[in-house]
Structure 1
Amino acid sequence: MSALLTGLALTIGLTAMSPTGQAASPASGEPVRSCASLPELTFADGTRVTGAEETDAICHVRLLVPGSVNIAVSLPAHGWNGRFQGVGGGGYAGVLTPPDAAARAGYAAAATDTGHTGSPLSGAWAWSPTGMKQDLITDFAERSVHEMTVKGKAVTRAYYGTAPDHSYWNGCSTGGRQGLMEAQRHPEDYDGILSAAPAINWDRFIPAELWPQVVMRESGHVVSSCTFEAVNKAVVAACDGQDGVTDGIVDPRTCRFDPSKLIGTTTPCGTVTAEDAAVVKKIWQGPRRKNGSFLWYGLTPGTSFAGLAGSTSTGQAAPFPITADWFTYWLAKNPDFDWRTVTTAGFADWFDRSRTEYHDVIGTDDPDLRAFRDGGGKLVLWHGWADQLIFPQGTIDYYQRVAARMGGLDRTERFARLFMAPGVAHCSGGPGAAPVDPLAALVKWVEEGKAPNTLAGANGELTRPLCRWPSVPRYTGHGSTSDAANFRCAAAYGPQRR
């Protein structure tokens, strides 16, 4: 049989039958054909099913889209919940991990390598001696995820005999950026998008990640991890209780800490110097032009320096690999480039080059979400305040611009909400409470119309409500400070907001 699905002609050469040979009801959540039969599917654009095998009650399907985009689809052999889930990647992607966790939760799910293979930390694949590989860059930035979504839904329909009732995106970091690209460029693909710590503003935050290393090089020494840890302990000691609770969690919006106060302080690794304090101050400040004007954000006080200002055990500088490759292959376009030639005085030139060449390709910061909103789409964003890799201020900046474009915060919250997680690092980790099951909150919003006022957060025995921006959790003054029930969402400065 044949069907037209989202503009793609899908030709199926088999009768829709259950694995036992009996016609199955599309609403049963059971397949109408065998997993082994799926390689017989053909696509008008030349996409091929390269493999299909059922293992551990999951039908694992592999597809190859012309242009080298590989897709993995995981389909529950029994008990499909009628939903499709697109699962995001990380870093530069380049790996194909079957989305089995989503399938075990009842979803038909898909993932992609985004059109190239290699370590997610390596961006060398985009470069060649004859020029940048624009097709691969486009696949990575946008095309692969849309193809994955369309083809994944087509395979889902072929297997179960019916299209998904609802489709959801779930991703963090690069996966968060991919979800927002879908909302901006392909708003019809998903009913709900969960975007965590999104790698949007890619053309700006990626070069900004090198700033800590450039600052340290110009200071004449690499600040030790021990000294950085001492600084963060001092930040916590000074700012922890400002929210009314002493729990090791810092709200950077209210923390005003001057690192110069630590000069002369003795630490397990020596005495904090004026040079150490100056480095910390510049890292927190973020990259600037020669005249001191803003380029991008820096790390928030209390956030780990290990990712962007890391060093080796021998005290050598250790730039974050994703950023080092961005300068080497995407900006300098020279595999022999030495990042140490980048200076604070010349940093703006590199930053501007990144914006000029790649903003339209991978900036992923278009605030016009009218098509997504008008199609009934719902968006849940969340970001940890202690993110050591992607500056959380960039996500807030984007959300503010969305609100301005969409008619104000009240109107924006009808379809898109942002939740900030104090003390939470990149996607997870840190002393704060991370969202427990934000996808469930998104599903409830899409399917029941119940918009989340908070997200449930937890870190071991610690539970906290994660409040929608710009509200923050405030202790009521009664009961355990580890129990979310004893916190309310309040304005950062002002009366409570419920």
Structure 2
Amino acid sequence: MAAIVPHTLPGAIVQGVVTPGTSTVTVPYASIVPAAPEQPAGGSGFNFRPTPIGPTPAFCQVALVYYPGGEGPNNAGPGLDSPGVPRGQPAYDAGQKQAIEIVISLPLNSADQGPTNLGAVNGAWTGGIMTMGAPGQSGTLNPSGFGEGLDGANSTYAIRQGFVASITDAGEQYAGYFTQGTPGNANFAIVSTPNSPYRNKIAYGTVADWIYRGTWYGRQWADAIAKAYYGKEPKLHYYNGGSGGGNMGMGQLQHHGDDYDGFLIGAPAYRWQQFRLADSWPALVLRKLVQLDGAAALPTNDQQTALYNAIVKACDVEGTDTVADGIIADPRVCTMHFTAAANICGVTGAPPRPLCLTARQAAAFDRIFDGPRNSHGARIWYPYDISITFPTNALGTFQSTSYNSTTLTASTVEVVQYDHANAAWPANNCLFVDQESLELGATNATGWAACASPGVPTTYEREAAVGSRIGSDLGAPPIDLYTDNQDPDLKEAMKHGTKVIQLHGSADPAIRWRHDVDYYARVATELYGGTKAADYEKLQSWYRLFVAPMTGHIGGGFGPYWYDPFVVLRNWVEHDVVPKTILGVSDSHGLVPGRTRPICPFPQTAIYSGFGSNNDANSFTCGGNLQAGVIRDGSGRSIQGLPVACNDVKTVFGQEDTANLDFKSVGLTASECSEHLPPRQGDSLTRR
């Protein structure tokens, strides 16, 4: 085969990217990846393929190491004015030479014996660039996007679509040098180098590279190399990423939204500090349960399965889809009306022993599904929703059947380490030892010093406030402002005509879908003044959120979910075909394998027509308003329900330790919700 890209980049490529004068780049390899055969239909979850995939043609792959800011103390010292770096804080550790690994995959041009059906120079290239996200906290070059195989999508999906693909490790070489592996943890941006002048400080440049800059560098390099390889400028730019890659996508949307034509973002791990702090809420509740009744009180898998069956029986038709099919249309409505007290031993209709619950076990379930609240009873963040209570997602823990009531999740520990700019602080089994709203017991025998910095009580609500308002104990700015990609001002993307499809499953055990609903409402309020039907209609003209009932993280679960949604986005961008629905298909682990259902643009939902099979998407239409709270009774008749949106109102950002609820940002008023908000939580676990 002909030569592809020389190992020393031609000057034209370097000049094609606007970079700081100190920046350098190296090219570890450039090679041709052989063609791959067709993959048969089958699989489930991330590998679900209703139809065969491929074959994949051979393609060119180029690896870069990009050094965005050089090295040495001049780039790490206080006062550096750099995007994403607060004044007076270090961008990088002293002597750190920040390196961002980038892999760019290109359909073969004619010189490299690629197909020539699209022109002698362009080969199989359509003129498009697909920037792809990476999972978790990055540190890997394994893409996390959406294709025929959902989260298993990678650069070969882009190649089959005729796109150039770009993927980056965002500056965290966790998996090893140009290695596709397990994504890293997030505390890589906390300086822990012995004797460093910035020890126990956050390297904000590293954070910015992770959150949005690294992906943006990859997109710029993809443009430059495509131009050099094909001799033409790219015509279209897409972003494709889920989970951690969804977080990167939100960073691109908020910082560079007008530089992309379309975004496909699934289950985004944005607002990272806030939702990761909430990961351990079930553990807090369970720890209180153990304190009160001993370890034997932890619910068994059989008890949990029995509760799940009770939930479906009570809530299947209580939503808005009007059909009993095992799918809960909106678990928020269920949370507002259902109580686990229905399964208390001796209650009429409760299951027999040992499947029934004690009163305190039932209260624990109710508190878990109500979600994190502070000592004032105000919601701080969103719960693991009620539709995920089946044993493979025990009490909301990610794909685990074991309960951990003594330590918190690693993701929560990372958040607290960022709050305090210390990768070794504190011991995770001491966090939140005095959580007021749950009465988690008095301090231990040695007092606060054993569990926190001296004199600093470590409670859930205080940690939330440290991250959003107080800043670290060492005086750094609050980290949430730099990690969380939560800016609702998307005017530049809107003006550019960018199209956005955002996906989430309501049974996601890793990332709560309700923070997507909250963000979507904030965007509608920021751009159009509120969250009335007309405001959402304006937002839907270019930005659509699709929530798949009872779908898990990225895909899978009991309900039907999307397949190859990038095609839907591409038709919207390139052919102006507005996605009124996305077809959902159940995999082999679904309640009914092969079941189809329309996934509707929020706040609409799928409503059964009353005719035809409830396993056929053609029997449903999109309608209603999930935010308004109109629900159905057991006979399918429409009755007025509570405004569900009011139950989603949480504390004002930066005021997580107060009673102040943020109605304005989500287009509501206190008077609209005053009669409908649920009672504030009391101190006792036995209260709901």
Alignment equivalent of 2:158, drawn from 86, 95, 102:
102
Distance 1:315 1:297 in 2: 20
Report which stretch shifted further, 137-146 or 321-330.
Answer: 321-330
Equivalent residue for 2:462, pick from 328, 349, 352:
349
Contact 2:66 2:99 in 1 (8 A): yes
Q: Is the contact between residue 506 and residue 547 of structure 2 (CA under 8 Å) also seen in structure 1?
A: yes
Partner SS for 2:28: strand
1:8-407 to structure 2, matched below 5 A, reads 34-37=3-6, 39-42=8-11, 43=14, 45-56=23-34, 57-66=58-67, 67-77=98-108, 78=114, 79-97=124-142, 99-118=155-174, 119-120=182-183, 122-129=185-192, 130-131=199-200, 132-220=202-290, 221=295, 222-242=298-318, 243-251=321-329, 252-255=331-334, 256-264=337-345, 271-304=356-389, 305-306=393-394, 308-309=396-397, 316-317=404-405, 319-328=408-417, 331=420, 333-335=422-424, 337-343=426-432, 344-345=435-436, 346-356=459-469, 357-407=478-528
Residue 488 of structure 1 corresponds to 621
Segment of structure 1 superposing worse, 407-416 or 127-136: 127-136
- Of structures 1 and 2, the larger Rg is shown by 2
CA deviation after TM superposition for structure 1 residue 308, in Å: 4.2
User: Could you tell me how far 1:316 is from its partner in structure 2?
Assistant: 4.2
Q: Post-superposition shift, 1:246?
A: 2.6
Unaligned runs of 5+ in 1: 1-18, 21-33
Deviation of 1:168 after TM superposition, in Å, equals: 0.6
Q: Equivalent residue of 2:317, what SS?
A: helix
- 1:91–1:322 CA contact under 8 A, matched in 2: no
Q: Determine if contact 2:227/2:234 at 8 Å carries over to the other structure.
A: yes
- Residue 424 of structure 1: which of 551, 560, 582 is its match? 551
Task: Tell me if the contact between 1:76 and 1:108 (Cα under 8 Å) persists in the aligned partners.
Answer: yes
Moved more, 95-104 or 57-66: 95-104
Change (3 A) 1:128 1:188: same
1-structure distance, mates of 2:306, 2:186: 33
Q: 1:316 to 1:284 in 2, by over 3 A?
A: closer
Q: From the superposition, tell whether residues 383 and 65 of structure 1 become closer, same or farther in structure 2 (CA, over 3 Å).
A: same
Q: Which moved more, 1:70-79 or 1:324-333?
A: 324-333
Name the CA distance, whole Å, in 1 between partners of 2:301 and 2:183.
25
Question: TM-score, normalized by length of structure 2?
Answer: 0.64
Q: Alignment partner for residue 409 of structure 1, among 518, 536, 539?
A: 536
- Answer whether contact 2:63 2:101 (CA < 8 A) is retained: yes
> SS where residue 6 of structure 2 aligns?
helix
Q: By how many angstroms is 1:238 displaced?
A: 1.6
Higher mean C-alpha displacement, 264-273 vs 204-213: 264-273
Q: Deviations over 1:44-87 (max 9, x none)?
A: 53122221100211111111110211111111223222211011
Change (3 A) 1:75 1:249: same
Judged with a 3 Å threshold, the aligned counterparts in structure 2 of structure 1 residues 170 and 313 are, in CA distance, closer, same or farther, namely: closer
Q: Where does residue 562 of structure 2 map in the other structure?
A: 435
Partner SS state of residue 135, structure 1: helix
Superposition deviation, residue 135 in structure 1: 2.6
Structure 2 CA distance, aligned partners of 1:327 and 1:225?
A: 30
User: 2:408, 2:429 within 8 Å by CA — same for their partners in 1?
Assistant: no
Say if 1:454 and 1:310 are closer, same or farther in 2 by CA, change over 3 A: closer
Q: Distance in 2 between matches of 1:425 and 1:399?
A: 20
Q: What do you get for the CA RMSD once the two structures are aligned? A: 2.4
Aligned counterparts of 1:204 and 1:332: Cα–Cα separation in 2: 16
Letter in 2 for 1:347: Y
Contact between 2:106 and 2:163, CA under 8 Å: does it hold in 1? yes
- Displacement after TM superposition at 1:382 (Å): 1.7
Q: Distance in 1 between matches of 2:618 and 2:135?
A: 34
3-state SS of the aligned residue for 1:40?
coil
Question: Offset of 1:381 from its aligned partner?
Answer: 1.2
Shift of 1:223: 3.8
Between stretches 342-351 and 326-335, larger displacement belongs to: 326-335
In structure 2, relative to structure 1, the CA distance for the partners of 1:208 and 1:316 (3 Å cut) is closer
- What is the alpha-carbon distance in structure 2 between the residues aligned to residue 127 and residue 267 of structure 1? 52
CA deviation after TM superposition for structure 1 residue 319, in Å? 4.4
Deviations along 1:325-365, one digit per CA (max 9) or x if unpaired, are 33345547242622232233221001111223222212212
For 2:410 and 2:326, locate their aligned partners in 1 and report how far apart those are by CA, in whole Å.
Answer: 30
Q: How many residues align?
A: 464
Residue 602 of structure 2 is matched in structure 1 by: 469
Counterpart-to-counterpart distance in 1, 2:168 and 2:306: 41
Cα offsets for 1:261-299 (capped at 9, x unmatched): 212255786542222212211111111111111101101
Q: Corresponding residue for 2:147? A: none
d(CA) in 1 for partners of 2:381 and 2:357? 27
For the residues of structure 2 that align with 1:230 and 1:149, how far apart are their CA atoms? 49
Please say if residues 398 and 510 of structure 2, whose CA atoms lie closer than 8 Å, have aligned partners that are also in contact. Answer: no
CA distances 1:235-256 after superposition (whole Å, capped 9, x unpaired): 1122123332232211214322
Deviation at 1:105, TM superposition (A): 2.8
SS at match of 1:70: strand
The answer on whether the counterparts of 1:213 and 1:309 sit within 8 Å (CA) in structure 2 is no
* 1:27 aligned partner: none
Residue 148 of structure 1 aligns with an amino acid whose one-letter code is: G
Partner of 1:4: none
**Match of 1:31?**
none
* TM-aligned CA distance change 1:247 to 1:147, over 3 Å: same
Measured after TM superposition, the shift of residue 447 of structure 1 is 1.1
Shift of 1:458: 1.0
State how far apart, in whole Å, the 2-side matches of 1:334 and 1:266 are. 46
1:197 Cα deviation from its structure 2 partner: 1.2
Report the secondary structure of 1:151's partner residue: helix
Q: Map 1:443-462 to 2 at 5 A.
A: 443-460=570-587, 461-462=594-595
3-state SS in 2 of match to 1:193: strand
Structure-1-length-normalised TM-score: 0.87
Which one-letter code corresponds to 2:131 in the other structure? G
Deviates more, 1:191-200 or 1:44-53: 44-53
**Which segment drifts farther, 140-149 or 335-344?**
335-344
Compare 180-189 and 483-492 and name the one that shifted more. 180-189
- Go from structure 1 to structure 2 and tell me whether the alpha carbon gap of 1:121 and 1:68 turns closer, same or farther (over 3 Å shift): closer
Residues 1:278 and 1:153: Cα distance change in structure 2 (over 3 Å): same
State percent identity of aligned pairs: 29
Aligned partner of residue 188 in structure 1, secondary structure: helix
Amino acid at match of 1:337: P
